[in-house]
């Protein structure tokens, strides 16, 4: 009996390739119906998702992962509801497939333009945030693409459950089986196999740290879309509008109670330093350090209000989730329309 030596990544990429032909011909209505069904399934399966996620969190803490890292992995009822809400929001985004752009007419009357079509199969390699599983699948679905997902090992069980829910709900709505593939193996060799699967994967996107992005960029045999590793610093000039600067700092640095990174500054005019206070309840403290003969004066009363406002934003998780949802929706629309800078 012959034994297949092909990796899981190669096998599943081939299945996605076959499904991609039907995905490309789906109507907007079919895609939107599938997205709605996926969102409903996520809400209905929330208890199972949270049970599996609790196991990932327990294993992560046992491995000594930092609380800031663990917080990226954590799901609760509110966050699962947010993932479902984001999925439904994709329904409202314009369908890019079939859109004609850059149309021009030649002197002889011939019209020449470009029409947006699905890529085919999108591969995605990402790390610890399980919500990314659904985010990527939803965008690929809306744009008529099949997808192969490879999650990081820390939240792997949660990502696997989410991917299974997405795939099942999509098939129940009439989408082709095999369009949503998740690599169950956590063997790092599967990443290498995925990077070489250019016969089946048309585009590969890494979402993670600099090491992952560098490896994908250097080793992938198919086109790759890579960005930076994120902007974690904010520079505030001495002549900045303090109210605007305060709003930017609070927005950027108080989204989660854990892992608030220090604000970095290019010049020593003004620095906001954020600290976590572990005595009883975690609190956010806002301190301002003035250098070079106090280049910028700030009213003490205003500082008190800034600190209070920061703590209010920090502890209002629903406000944060709504804000994240708006940002993700804007990002998704840019991705679908190909208008990212």
List phi, psi (to 5°) of 106: -75, 165
Between 319 and 237, the more confident residue is: 237
**The pLDDT value given to residue 72:** 87
Give the residue numbers spanning the domain of 321.
231-341
**The pLDDT value given to residue 324:** 53
**The pLDDT value given to residue 83:** 95
When the pLDDT of each residue in the chain is averaged and rounded to a whole number, the result is: 78
Q: Encode pLDDT of 76-97 as tens digits.
A: 999 999 999 999 999 999 999 9
Question: Does residue 267 share a domain with residue 214?
Answer: no
Q: Encode pLDDT of 137-196 as tens digits.
A: 999 999 999 999 999 999 999 999 999 999 999 999 999 999 999 999 999 899 999 999
Would you say 123 and 205 are in contact if contact means Cβ atoms under 8 Å apart?
yes
Question: Does residue 167 share a domain with residue 59?
Answer: yes
Calculate mean pLDDT across residues 263-269: 40
Question: Does residue 237 share a domain with residue 218?
Answer: no
Question: Does residue 279 share a domain with residue 196?
Answer: no
pTM of the model: 0.73
Question: Does residue 242 share a domain with residue 269?
Answer: yes
Provide the CATH number for the domain around residue 47.
3.40.605.10
Please choose, from the candidates 103, 86, 178, 92, the residue with its C-alpha nearest in 3D space to the C-alpha of residue 138.
86
**Position 20 pLDDT exceeds 90:** yes
Taking CA atoms, 146 is separated from 15, 88, 176, in Å, by 9, 19, 9
Into how many domains does the chain fold? 2
Between 238 and 41, the more confident residue is: 41
104 within a domain of the structure (yes/no): no
Pick the range with the lowest mean pLDDT from 106-115, 199-208, 216-225, 326-335: 326-335
DSSP states of 210-237 as a string?
A: HHHHHHHHHH-SS-B----S--------
Distance CA 250, CA 282 (A): 16
């Amino acid at each position: 009996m012959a034994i297949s030596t092909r990796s899981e990544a190669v096998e599943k990429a081939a299945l996605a390739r076959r499904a991609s032909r039907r995905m490309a011909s789906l109507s907007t209505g079919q895609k939107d119906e599938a997205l709605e069904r996926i969102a409903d399934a996520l809400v209905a399966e929330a208890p199972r998702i949270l049970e599996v996620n609790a196991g990932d969190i327990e294993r992560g803490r046992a491995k000594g992962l930092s609380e800031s890292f663990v917080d990226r992995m954590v799901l609760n009822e509110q966050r699962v509801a947010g993932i479902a809400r984001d999925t439904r929001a994709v329904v409202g985004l314009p369908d890019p497939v079939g859109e004609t752009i850059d149309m021009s007419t030649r002197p002889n009357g011939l019209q020449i333009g470009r029409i947006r079509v699905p890529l085919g199969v999108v591969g995605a390699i990402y790390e610890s945030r399980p919500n990314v599983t659904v985010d990527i699948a939803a965008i690929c679905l809306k744009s008529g693409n099949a997808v192969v997902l490879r999650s990081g090992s820390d939240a792997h069980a949660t990502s696997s459950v989410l991917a299974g829910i997405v795939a099942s709900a999509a098939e129940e709505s009439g989408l082709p089986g095999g369009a949503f593939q998740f690599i169950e193996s956590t063997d790092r060799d599967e990443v290498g196999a995925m990077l070489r699967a250019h016969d089946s994967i048309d585009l590969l996107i890494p979402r993670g740290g600099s090491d992952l992005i560098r490896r994908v960029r250097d080793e992938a045999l198919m086109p790759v879309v890579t960005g930076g590793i994120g902007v974690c610093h904010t520079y505030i000039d001495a002549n900045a509008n303090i109210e605007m600067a305060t709003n930017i700092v609070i927005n950027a640095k108080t989204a989660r109670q854990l892992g608030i990174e220090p604000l970095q500054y290019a010049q020593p005019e003004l620095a906001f330093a954020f600290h976590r206070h572990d005595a009883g309840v975690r609190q956010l403290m806002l301190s301002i350090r003035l250098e070079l003969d106090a280049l910028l004066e700030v009213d003490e009363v205003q500082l008190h209000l800034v600190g209070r406002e920061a703590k209010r934003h920090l502890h209002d998780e629903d406000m944060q989730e709504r804000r994240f949802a708006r940002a993700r929706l804007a990002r998704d629309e840019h991705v679908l329309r190909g208008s990212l800078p």
